[in-house]
Amino acid sequence: MQQRDLLNIQMLQDLWIEIHQDDNDARDVIVQLEDGSLHTALFVTPAYLFRQMDLTYRLSQDIPDTVPVKFAALDTPHVLVEDLNRDTIEDTLDNLFALDIFESLFTRVTEEDAPETVPVHTGQRATQEVAAVVLSEVLVVE
């Protein structure tokens, strides 16, 4: 294994975890690194995946010319965890940084001087304004 350049390692500065009132199997997680950049991903439990599969099954039953089948098509970055306790999320983040895979699983929120949207893996970067709204108006911090 090659030794990583320690100058490029970012440290976690802040962590926000959205508490969903209606379900207990998913959390939106926003992290701010020491350089001020914001990153987001959805932490989910296996129950969340099973619920998504049931929803697509019921939906496919109601659409003509579709075969009812259970599946989950995930379009945003998801991190599958056993539970959604804060300690589990924090320990998972520590491991993602240690394994150097954090940036491949989280969507980076653009900075003020960056273009409005920039492709990241399969999705688009969110605007800084959207993140600001989420942090100030939507997010319930645990």
The pLDDT of residue 20 is 74
The pLDDT of residue 35 is 87
Angle at 87 between CA 83 and CA 88, to 5 degrees: 35
pLDDT in tens, 46-100: 999 999 999 999 999 999 999 999 999 888 889 999 999 999 999 999 999 999 9
Instruction: Tell me how far apart the alpha carbons of residues 116 and 45 are, in angstroms, rounded to a whole number.
Output: 32
Instruction: Tell me how far apart the alpha carbons of residues 125 and 109 are, in angstroms, rounded to a whole number.
Output: 5
In degrees and rounded to multiples of 5, residue 18 shows phi and psi of -80, 130
Residues comprising the chain, all counted: 142
pLDDT in tens, 14-50: 999 998 777 789 999 999 999 889 999 999 999 999 9
Provide the whole-model pTM. Answer: 0.71
pLDDT at 124 over 70: no
Instruction: Tell me how far apart the alpha carbons of residues 53 and 57 are, in angstroms, rounded to a whole number.
Output: 6
